[in-house]
Amino acid sequence: MKFIDMHCDTLMQAYFNDAEECYTSNGMCDVKKMKEGGALAQFLGIFLVQPTSARWGKCHKPVVPDEVYLKRCVGIFNETMKRRSDIIAPARCAQDILNNEKKGLMSGILTVEDGRDASSFERLEMYHDWGIRLITLTWNFKNCWGSPNSKDPAIMAEGLTDYGKEGVQKMNELGMLVDVSHLSDGGFWDVVKYSKKPFVASHSNARALAPHPRNLTDEMIRAVAEKGGCIGLNFMPEFLHEDTVSKSSRIDLMAKHARYIINIGGEDVLGIGTDFDGFSGSPLEIAGSHEMQKLFDYFASHGFTSTEIEKIGYKNSLRVISEVMK
């Protein structure tokens, strides 16, 4: 089964490890593992690391301006596409993905997690020119777009800023996917109101099963579905377990969230958003892109129809890409 994965943090890991490209790694996702696992397309996210993150010191990287870091990660993406042009090619729209597939190539789609640097229409246009086709509006801190997910009800209720509301509409115009993973509940409902195009929660699960504020309520799942959007099934332990401190990433829990989300929002709402290279835990029953077929095999043996599996694997996300990205 081919698949489209809407979120990984592989470019960040390549940056920290001084890698020139993402062909092989000790991490969860790279071009070689994607090929082995049957990927159709991989969204490769540039996570804007917080200056206070322990990962800076651990990896002996100096704090650099966001634009310097962004350009370095874009460079890693472009170098990967150049060096591995016999395996993978960049994609900026659905037709690119289909054209690449006809040539026997996977597709790489460039994205950004945390829109704090995209603080003007000029910056958004520059991102678009770079090939960035999705922005996760916030991470876990407030920024120019709005407020993040939070255990604080007051923060969770806060919506998009004035710029955030305008920026969502500008992203619609440019053909960039709006991603609500990490956004506050108030911000989520503002996206529902102001986005004229389908949007995604690139790596989020069901809050009813795992009460992490990053997950979606039943009402949110229905809203994404009604907008024609897509939710990426997240493999991170905290987003799978009812006990959000558990550290195991289990396939049976992934399937439980998948079935629940489909039951609430319908079979057209669910995709894949692994969060590979953005988490750790033990055991990890799917340790990387090369093991993705384990998920689809489990689905097939536990009551998911072939139509549902294809839609989860790639058809739902490809539909949203075709309706938005340009």
**Spatial contact of 145 and 138, defined as CB atoms under 8 Å apart:** yes
How many structural domains are present in the chain? 1
User: What confidence score (pLDDT) does residue 264 get?
Assistant: 98
d(CA 9, CA 278): 5
Q: Is the pLDDT of residue 309 over 80?
A: yes
Structure confidence by residue, pLDDT tens digits, 164-199: 999 999 999 999 999 999 999 999 999 999 999 999
User: What confidence score (pLDDT) does residue 59 get?
Assistant: 54
Q: Is the pLDDT of residue 115 over 60?
A: yes
Structure confidence by residue, pLDDT tens digits, 34-69: 999 999 999 999 999 877 654 544 455 777 889 999
| Residue 180: domain span | 3-324
User: What confidence score (pLDDT) does residue 56 get?
Assistant: 46
Mean pLDDT of 227-252: 96
Helix/strand/coil (H/E/C) assignment for every residue in the chain? CCEEECCECHHHHHHHCCCCCCCCCCCCCCHHHHHHHCEEEEEEEEECCCCCCHHHHHCCCCCCCHHHHHHHHHHHHHHHHHHCCCCEEECCCHHHHHHHHHCCCEEEEEEEECHHHCCCHHHHHHHHHHCEEEEECCCCCCCCCCCECCCCHHHHHCCCCHHHHHHHHHHHHHCCEEECCCECHHHHHHHHHHCCCCCEECCCCECCCCCCCCCECHHHHHHHHHCCCEEEECCCHHHCCCCCCCCCECHHHHHHHHHHHHHHHCCCCEEECCCECCCCCCCECCCCHHHCHHHHHHHHHCCCCHHHHHHHHHHHHHHHHHHHCC
d(CA 240, CA 204): 9
Structure tokens at 295: 């998920």
User: What confidence score (pLDDT) does residue 244 get?
Assistant: 82
Q: Is the pLDDT of residue 140 over 60?
A: yes
Structure tokens at 199: 């949007």
Q: Residue 70 belongs to a domain with what CATH number?
A: 3.20.20.140
50 versus 142: which is more confidently predicted?
142
- The neighbour count for residue 236, using CB atoms within 10 Å, is 22
**Spatial contact of 112 and 134, defined as CB atoms under 8 Å apart:** yes
For 70, list phi and psi in degrees, rounded to 5: -60, -45
d(CA 70, CA 225): 32
Q: Which residues contact 204 (CB under 8 A, 6 or more apart)?
A: 180, 181, 214, 215, 216, 231, 232, 234, 239, 273
* Range of weakest confidence among 77-81, 244-248, 270-274, 291-295: 244-248
**Spatial contact of 239 and 273, defined as CB atoms under 8 Å apart:** no
Q: What burial class does residue 294 get, using C-beta atoms within 10 Å of its C-beta: 0-12 exposed, 13-18 middle, 19+ buried?
A: middle
Q: Which residue's structure tokens are 């397309």? A: 41
